[in-house]
Chain A
Amino acid sequence: MSGKPKISIRDLTKVFYKKKDSTTAIERISVDIAEGEFVCLVGPSGCGKTTLLRIIAGLEKQSAGRFEIQRSGEERPSQSMVFQEKGLLPWLTVEENIAFGLNMRHLPKSYVKEKTQYFLTKVGLEKFAKMYPKELSGGMKQRVSIARAFANDPEILLMDEPFGALDEQNRFILQEELLSIWSEMKKTVLFITHSIDEALYLSDRVLLMSSQPGRIAADIRIDLPRPRRLQDIRSHPEMTAAFTKIWQHLQEEVQGSRE
């Protein structure tokens, strides 16, 4: 298993076609992601990063190319997604939301209960188990969303800007909590963000995307030891260099799309 990548993507292309008009959202994306790697996809808005994630999540079908997720067992789902802020089902309570994936797989009740309880505690929401999403703050909602994905125990985790709608303090806290759960579960993660700080803090690798058509423009390793602290990233010279590189790329992209 060691040699094979967890996710291998080959020549993945998606074209949106509408009445003689076609746009290429992503073009010939090829990339390998190793088992247990935390990878952030960073790019300007409209660069097709969400499209790429949605294809891997099975919510969209690619126009060409293929991708493969290595399975370690039959009963595990291949992937689970943490959606943007509105991803909780409003008619289910916190615990029902966390149990959603497990219930959709029709697993034994006692197992579902045990798992739900475990992750409910893990994200510190035991007291809120019977509440509905409308009663929760944005940060709590995303905790539930993360718990739901981890409880489902998938081969890989997909996250589509899960902290995009949070205020800065909450974002830091959630990032830290995510890393703590992640380091315990050792999942392979593909995480979309447009915050460079977030990418540098969370990931082992940043895939920088360019837009129209979406391609991978750079593949940057983040070799900072874990556990990391936010202040380390701000002061680390290599990270400052990485930040500048990503920042310049994004600026060029935005400039380019204006012309």
Chain B
Amino acid sequence: MKGLYDPIETEKREWRRKQNRQKAKTGLTIFSPILLLLVWEILSQSGLADARFFPPPTAIAVAFFDLFASGELFSHIEISLFRILAGFLLGAIPGIILGLCMGLYAPIRHFFSPLIMAIMPIPTLALLPIILILFGIGETSKVVTIAGSVFFPVVINTAAGVLSIDSIYLDVAKNYGANRKDFFLKIALPGSLPFMLEGIQMGQAIALLTIVAAEMMGARSGIGYLIWTSYNAFLLKDMFVGLILISFFGYLFSLLLRGLQQKLLPWR
């Protein structure tokens, strides 16, 4: 076979090699989390790691099903997701609107940007006591805390997105007689969408960080509450259930947003 003149066969082999390499890469991404769990299980079972602090994954899975069966887990997840969603919308929607206005209208931008720059570095969690005083210990305070932390990355990215729109597109819109509303909806909104979605990604990640901390400090329910009370009661298996849930939802939201990105930006 060697030295035979067969270009198609050569390319076919090359193509197969590439396919195999691709499969191997996919395999690795599945393999690495499994490896982590396996090592953890072995360390914990063998006593190399203290099973009181690092209960084996199998034990955590059992705890997960117990909590799930009692219905307790479901109510924690439900309330946390509600808070994240409500807070997310309450932060992202005004963030998008103000961001578009700031990007399009220089006076609005110059008025708001120092305020945003000044307030942004303060962690929303540090404001939690004030938020609790203002909004009470009910749902509103949690939703507001999340909204506050989602708002900033969204507003900043949206404004930057509008400013990044190539000036030729603005010329096109002007030359073809776009009015204010069309400028807003047909140029600024779609043009800034790629940046805006990046901001929403960041906001999503921050929302998860915030919800857990907020629920640790002033709540009677939710995943953060589960983590905190389990820790205090030294029910570390339950605590790990909470931690893994957070990691799961973070991953899930990222996937959803990436899907949304592909759906909303077919032109990229």
Contact = CB atoms under 8 A, between A and B. Distances in A.
A203 interface: no
A80 B176 contact: yes
A104 B178 contact: yes
A86 B166 contact: yes
Nearest to A57: B175
Contacts of B177: 77, 101, 104-105
B191 A91 contact: yes
A172 interface: no
Interface in B97-146: none
B174 A89 contact: no
B176 A86 contact: no
Interface string A90-115: 11100000001100110000000000
Given A59-B174, A83-B171, A89-B169, A104 B267 contact: no
Interface string B135-172: 00000000000000000000000000000001011011
A81 interface: yes
A152 B267 contact: no
B176 to A, nearest CB: 4
A86 B168 contact: yes
Contact of B267 (A57, A79, A86, A90): A90
A91 B176 contact: no
Nearest to A102: B176
A100 B177 CA distance: 10
Interface string A110-137: 0000000000000000000000111000
B164 to A, nearest CB: 13
A2 to B, nearest CB: 29
B182 interface: yes
A107 to B, nearest CB: 11
Contact of A104 (B171, B173, B268): B173
A132 B264 CA distance: 13
Nearest to B175: A81
- Give the one of A81, A83, A90, A104 with max B CB within 10 A: A104
B168 to A, nearest CB: 5
A87 B168 contact: yes
A104 B169 CA distance: 14
A133 B268 CA distance: 10
Interface in A55-103: 57-59, 77, 79-81, 83-84, 86-87, 89-92, 100-101
Contacts of A83: 168, 171-172
B267 A87 contact: no
Given A86-B166, A132-B266, A133-B267, A58 B191 contact: no
Interface residues of A, number: 24
Contact of B175 (A59, A92, A105, A134): A59
Contacts of B218: none
B266 A59 contact: no
Given A86-B166, A87-B168, A132 B267 contact: yes
A79 B174 CA distance: 12
Interface string B227-268: 000000000000000000000000000000000000001111
B267 A100 contact: no
Contacts of B168: 83-84, 86-87
Interface string B175-199: 1111100100011001101000000
A84 B168 CA distance: 9
From A80, A89, A101, name the one whose CB has the most chain B CB atoms within 10 angstroms. A89
A146 to B, nearest CB: 14
Most central of A58, A91, A101, A105 by chain B CB within 10 Å:
A91
A91 B267 contact: yes
A104 B166 contact: no
Instruction: Find the residue from B176, B190, B266 having the highest chain A CB count within 10 A.
Output: B176
B176 A101 contact: yes
Contacts of A87: 168, 172
Interface string A181-219: 000000000000000000000000000000000000000
Contacts of A84: 168
17 contacts: A58-B175, A79-B175, A81-B171, A83-B171, A86-B168, A87-B168, A89-B169, A89-B187, A89-B190, A91-B191, A91-B265, A92-B267, A104-B176, A104-B186, A105-B177, A148-B176, A152-B176
Interface of A: 57-59, 77, 79-81, 83-84, 86-87, 89-92, 100-101, 104-105, 132-134, 148, 152
Give me the 5 closest cross-chain CB pairs, A-B, nearest first.
A91-B190, A132-B267, A101-B176, A91-B267, A81-B175
